[in-house]
Structure 1
Amino acid sequence: MIQKFQETERIFAPSYKEKTGTITLEKFIIKNFQIPDDDLKKICEFISGDCELEKIIFELPNLILSEITYDKLQIKFYDEFQEDYLQLEIGIFTPIDIITSLKAEEKLEKKLYELYGSNSADKLLLIME
């Protein structure tokens, strides 16, 4: 009886293919991320140029939730680099203390490189706030 109950409690997280078949990248980003610089079109074009990066973006909210709870996610271009190297900054706003959030950030970065190609994972910078 306990096993049946535990099975029904599992959260269904649709796969990348299921999400991309029903929702566009732009709508997904609007629904799941704040965009402070109003660069939605530029961000979508950047992501769409790399299939692996697009897959990461669709799976990122669930990946983050597997490590830490958050209040909101933010996506913008990281402005410390020159124009010839673009990188997306993903701000993860969490109420958790700094030490715990830094440990979670480190785990998430490690997972990104384990699950996805480094060329695509290098295009993301995770920052806990």
Structure 2
Amino acid sequence: MQNELTFEQALEYIHARPRLQLTGDEASRRAASFLSKLGNPGRGLQIVHITGTNGKGSAAAMLSSMLTASGRKTGLFISPYVLEFRERIQIDGKMIPPDALALLVEKTMDAVNEMEREGQPVNEFILDFGL
């Protein structure tokens, strides 16, 4: 299946999301609503959620590396990225391929539009989380 969006168009779409500063509770509710519209893609997965003030990205990267080295299939979502957006989403220690990112963005667009119609715009972080 060929993507309708190019990688560059997908990045433009991501970065064009509204710059909403949501409170913790509102951000959680909106993210849950968005994930629900996407069919709750994380349901059934074993997930480690790392929280705290500092060092989350480093801790997540180290844990992902250890699990990958032990033969486990891993996915890593970190924020912010350092050099390139694709650093945010990694599978088995490798950045998401450009065409895969474009396809995922396409698959989220209906849910993003539905959220907007409901008066719950999706900011960049929530979209990235849904990818």
The structure whose residues are more often strand, as a share, is 1
Provide the TM-score with structure 2 as the length reference.
0.29
Provide the TM-score with structure 1 as the length reference.
0.29
Q: Which structure exhibits the higher relative contact order, with contacts defined as CA atoms closer than 8 Å and separated by 6 or more residues?
A: 2
